[in-house]
Amino acid sequence: MNKQNRIEIPLCLTITDLVFEGEKTATFSFHLPANLELDPIPGQYFMLWLPGDDEIPISISQIENNEKIQFTICSKGQTSANFLRMNKGDLVGLRGPYGNGFDISDKEVAIIIAGGMGIAPLRFIISTLISRTQKKILLIHGARTHDELFFKEELNNTDIDIRYCTDDGSFGFHGFPTIILEEILQKAQQKNLSHEIYSCGPEKMLKGILDIVNQFNLEKNAQFSLADRYIRCGFGICGSCYLDGVGLSICRDGPVFRGDVLQKITDFGSFGRNANGSKYPL
């Protein structure tokens, strides 16, 4: 088992801060007790329990000093919507960190591709790369529309290169981030730099990215966070989140996988499974 410290039994903490990033998205802050030393890795997630309702997996959006931890939640259904109705001071149960996070790697350039809510876990890897490495960082940040380009201001305040794109053309490039990725990789082939790709977003988009990195033989240097599946236990026991093919779990073997592993996952990008285990097309 992972020797990392982990909260297993939901720890109820009050929401110390709640900031709306958009109409249906907010960032929640909590103060972790001082002695826990969880040292989470970007890409890892927590199970967030809304008492009386349900518990959902949410990536760590940011953590400062192992203490102030943030989650960014987008309203997608019952529980996530109810989260957005909570207030500062309300109690939420936290357990985690769970899962396999992003590797920092030794490559010279980090290309980060965020689709929609996928920016949340990537925000954490971006700040980690900035503080711990000298890498050149390029962010391709896509969303449906301008309002959903969360953390724009915060990210603009860093030194990283950012390329925005929106599906509706309301800001930045009008189109999918995958198109920009392809361009960039094409140019990069000419230069002699090594690249590591970090991505999170809808599984369809990740599938598109995988196809592109494959063309460039970069699948081993591309990391994907699959944050779009049903999770129950978080530690690989219950079987709810296993992917077809070799039988890997999102909750424990993932949510971050490298491209060469993703290729063996036969339902990647095509099917998900809901709480009862039946398949639905993505």
Ligand X SMILES: Cc1cc2nc3c(=O)[nH]c(=O)nc-3n(C[C@H](O)[C@H](O)[C@H](O)COP(=O)(O)OP(=O)(O)OC[C@H]3O[C@@H](n4cnc5c(N)ncnc54)[C@H](O)[C@@H]3O)c2cc1C
Ligand Y SMILES: Cc1cc2nc3c(=O)[nH]c(=O)nc-3n(C[C@H](O)[C@H](O)[C@H](O)COP(=O)(O)O)c2cc1C
For residues 80 and 178, which CB has a smaller minimum distance to ligand X in the complex? 80
Number of residues forming the site for ligand X (CB under 6 A): 24
Between CA 124 and CA 90 the distance in angstroms is 24
Q: Of the candidates 221, 197, 213, which has an alpha carbon nearest to the alpha carbon of residue 138?
A: 197
For residues 55 and 219, which CB has a smaller minimum distance to ligand Y in the complex? 55
Between CA 228 and CA 11 the distance in angstroms is 24
Does 232 interact with ligand FES (rule: CB under 6 A)?
yes
Query: Which of ligand Y, ligand FES, other proteins, none sits in contact with 251, Cβ below 5 to 8 A by type?
Result: ligand FES
SS3 239: coil
Evaluated on CA atoms 209, 115, 92, 32, the torsion sign reads positive
Residue type (1 letter), 169: G
For residues 185 and 233, which CB has a smaller minimum distance to other proteins in the complex? 233
Does 240 interact with ligand FES (rule: CB under 6 A)?
yes
Does 45 interact with other proteins (rule: CB under 8 A)?
no
Evaluated on CA atoms 214, 215, 220, 222, the torsion sign reads negative
Does 246 interact with other proteins (rule: CB under 8 A)?
yes
Please, which of residues 98-137 interact with ligand Y by CB under 6 A?
none
Does 36 interact with other proteins (rule: CB under 8 A)?
no
For residues 54 and 260, which CB has a smaller minimum distance to ligand X in the complex? 54
Candidate residues 41, 63, 74, 114; the one interacting with ligand X per rule CB under 6 A: 74
What CA dihedral angle connects 88, 89, 95 and 96, to 10 degrees? 50
Does 83 interact with other proteins (rule: CB under 8 A)?
no
For residues 12 and 238, which CB has a smaller minimum distance to ligand Y in the complex? 238
Other CB atoms within 10 A of residue 131 CB: 7
Q: How many residues does the chain have?
A: 282
Interacting residue ranges for ligand X, rule: CB under 6 A: 45, 54, 56-59, 72-74, 76-81, 117, 120, 227-231, 250, 255
